């Protein structure tokens, strides 16, 4: 008799617990279902707004923009310094190297490749860090002083690509908007101390192109200087590096949300 009573009490306790758990479960499920319908949509975060801005910049939907929006300073800093920029560059270089592996050179010394210099081969990130990652207006004098120091570090993935191109038999041209008269010696020394050795030629902006847009300058140089060459690829961080005439067989854009060269 005693055993029967204990068994019945245990059964009742189990039933009560089961009903309690079911009630709680039903309440939770009901709350989740209806809260999704009735809760107001969360306001778009500033991070997402700046991500959209950066996407528009990289897709060239905002040509000629002047400075990074001040509210996007933190976003650009995180992108440039937090590892995503480096990962993006590495990924793009992987695509370039995949393309290069399919190119069959003629072996006549006329297979060429074009690389931009600033923020393609060597980085101005430390300079732009002091300029709020592009939120401050461009400072021509300050930039010249920075370049004259010759302290721009190589962008590792591009240095690796450059080495493969040279060793693979390409004639590599370095084409830059830096002024030939004032910045050529410091630039060449900087390139050499960062490992960019073995290129075919460095081409600077000279007085004949003073006042001309980057597209006009680089288009004319490509027409004049690369006659007779098969330009297999052209890499730059600015859309103006990759627009105009005589671009080559393929163009590749390196990300740069810090400034825009018109």
Residue 234 backbone dihedrals phi, psi, to 5 degrees:
-145, 120
User: Which pLDDT belongs to residue 45?
Assistant: 78
User: Which pLDDT belongs to residue 15?
Assistant: 47
User: Which pLDDT belongs to residue 46?
Assistant: 80
User: Which pLDDT belongs to residue 52?
Assistant: 96
User: Which pLDDT belongs to residue 21?
Assistant: 36
Which domains does the chain show, CATH number per domain?
Answer: 54-253 (3.40.50.1000)
74 three-class SS: helix
**3-state secondary structure string, 148-203?**
HHCCCCECHHHHHHHHHHHHCCCEEEEEEEEEHHHHHHHHHHHHHHCCCCCCCEEE
User: Which pLDDT belongs to residue 39?
Assistant: 37
pLDDT beneath 70, residues of the chain? 1-44
User: Which pLDDT belongs to residue 44?
Assistant: 59
> How does the average pLDDT of the chain come out, rounded?
87
């Amino acid at each position: 008799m005693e055993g029967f009573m204990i068994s019945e009490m245990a059964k009742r306790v189990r039933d009560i617990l089961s009903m309690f758990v079911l009630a709680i479960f039903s309440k939770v499920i009901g709350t989740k279902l209806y809260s999704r319908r009735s809760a107001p949509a969360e306001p778009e975060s500033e991070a997402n707004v700046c991500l959209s801005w950066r996407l528009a910049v990289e897709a060239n939907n905002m040509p000629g923009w002047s400075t990074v929006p001040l509210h996007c300073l933190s976003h650009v800093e995180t992108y440039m310094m937090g590892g995503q920029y480096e990962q993006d560059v590495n990924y793009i270089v992987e695509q370039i190297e995949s393309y290069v592996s399919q190119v069959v050179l003629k072996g006549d010394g006329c297979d060429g490749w074009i690389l931009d210099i600033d923020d393609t081969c060597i980085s101005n990130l430390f300079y732009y860090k002091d300029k709020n990652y592009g939120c401050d207006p461009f400072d021509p004098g300050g930039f010249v002083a920075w370049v004259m120091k010759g302290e721009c570090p190589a962008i590792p993935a591009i240095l690796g690509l450059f080495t493969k191109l040279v060793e693979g038999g390409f004639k590599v041209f370095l084409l830059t908007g830096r002024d030939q008269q004032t910045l050529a010696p410091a630039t060449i020394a900087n390139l050499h101390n960062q490992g960019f050795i073995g290129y075919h030629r460095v081409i600077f902006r000279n007085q004949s192109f003073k006042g001309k847009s980057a597209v006009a300058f680089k288009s004319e140089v490509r027409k004049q200087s690369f006659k007779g060459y098969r330009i297999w690829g052209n890499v730059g961080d600015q859309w103006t590096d990759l627009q105009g005439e005589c671009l080559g067989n393929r163009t590749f854009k390196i990300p740069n949300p810090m400034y825009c060269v018109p």
